[in-house]
Amino acid sequence: MPGHCTKSLLESFADLEDPRLEYLCDHKLLDIVVLAICAILCGANHWTEVEAYGKAKEDFLRTFLELPKGIPSHDTIGDLFARLDPDQFRNGFVTWVQGLGELIKGQVIAIDGKTLRRSHDKTLGVKAIHMVSAWASANRVVLGQIKTDSKSNEITAIPELLDLLDISGCTVTIDAMGCQKDIAQKILDQGADYILAAKGNQKHLHDKIKQMFDDAEASGFKHIKHDKRSKTEKGHGRIETRKCWVIDDPTHIFYIQGVDKKKEWPGLRSIIKIEAIRRIKGKLTSEIRYYISSLAMDADTLNRAIRDHWGVENVLHWVLDVGFREDENRVRQGHGAEMFAILRHIALNLLKQERTFKGGIHAKRLRAGWDEAYLRQVLTG
């Protein structure tokens, strides 16, 4: 099979257990997995399209797949992925990503959730699944993902996701749902730092931070150790100014922690206020957010790290919706929705790693479908 990336894919999924009866296996398990990846790279968004792609490109696919019984039907493909063990498949994905290269130390690992809107089935009473993913902002790859049944279950899913990853030397950023003491401790235990958003789900913490910054600003930060930075960016028809204030004064951190040592936030070293002022088509909006961090005071670094967190929205979730039409996908049978989501992550990682073609993800998928030489280049990594 062409290329290091695809060879490592086969190796990473080599231990994947086949749920089918052996005497009914006309098609090889890894043939179907690689067929699905190639098809999704080339624009397929459903199992029927995976089959159609396979039939159109069978001669090409036979250059690196066995395909002893030709191209499987979409029912065969869908049934297999619906029955595969999601934990095994997810572990294979994480192993493959780790083989792509070392994580850039110090980068932001943004953890955030996304609901696959059309994965629900009202007839069967099945809710839409919610995927919590980890995005490496500098390596620009999805590191791993966990499926939950609702957004509220992110609290239990995030520790499971962290257990899959090597995040040492990085900074983990999580929105308010992940602002939990146990999660903060797990991040520190794995040799990383954290920046956690404080909102209404941690009302006491949020209100104390807000009051502290209000009082500090009222006094002009007199006798309060702090740092402040401001950055303005232009693009996509908007101008955004992000102002960042950081306090790491020990007295103020002690006030946030309180006197009960058992209730302290692990490793807390600074509190952060961000004011984002946006001008879009002449309309001015302002939003204030608060954060806690295990990092020392450096407003420029913290401002940039918090900005990088939103790459999980702009570079991952938005691309999955626009480039892969994820929110329109109606795969629902068994584990199919979760499996298809992981296959999209594999395709996205491969396309992100290919940098010779400067088009967007949608354009790259089109070119991969039209140009077999370019597809080989994407698979080669």
CA distance 93 to 5: 12
CA distance 332 to 330: 6
37 phi/psi in degrees, rounded to 5: -60, -45
CA distance 18 to 28: 9
Q: Are 113 and 151 in contact (CB under 8 A)?
A: yes
Tokens of 346: 């594999």
pLDDT tens string 185-228: 999 999 999 999 999 889 999 999 999 999 999 999 988 889 99
CA distance 94 to 289: 32
pLDDT tens string 243-278: 999 999 998 899 899 877 778 999 999 999 999 998
The pLDDT confidence band at residue 123, using thresholds 50, 70 and 90, is low
Which helix H or strand E contains 39, and what residues bound it?
A: helix 29-41
CA distance 107 to 309: 10
Distance of CA 160 to the CA centre of its chain: 14
List CB contacts of 320: < 8 A, sequence separation 6 or more. Answer: 114, 326, 344, 348
DSSP-assigned states of every residue in 310-325? THIIIIIIHHHHHHH-
pLDDT confidence of residue 124: 59
pLDDT confidence of residue 49: 96
Region 331-346 average pLDDT:
89
pLDDT tens string 65-121: 999 999 999 999 999 999 999 999 999 999 999 888 788 888 999 999 888 876 666
Tokens of 244: 């960042």
Closest CA to 307 of 272, 270, 350, 261: 272
168 phi/psi in degrees, rounded to 5: -60, 135
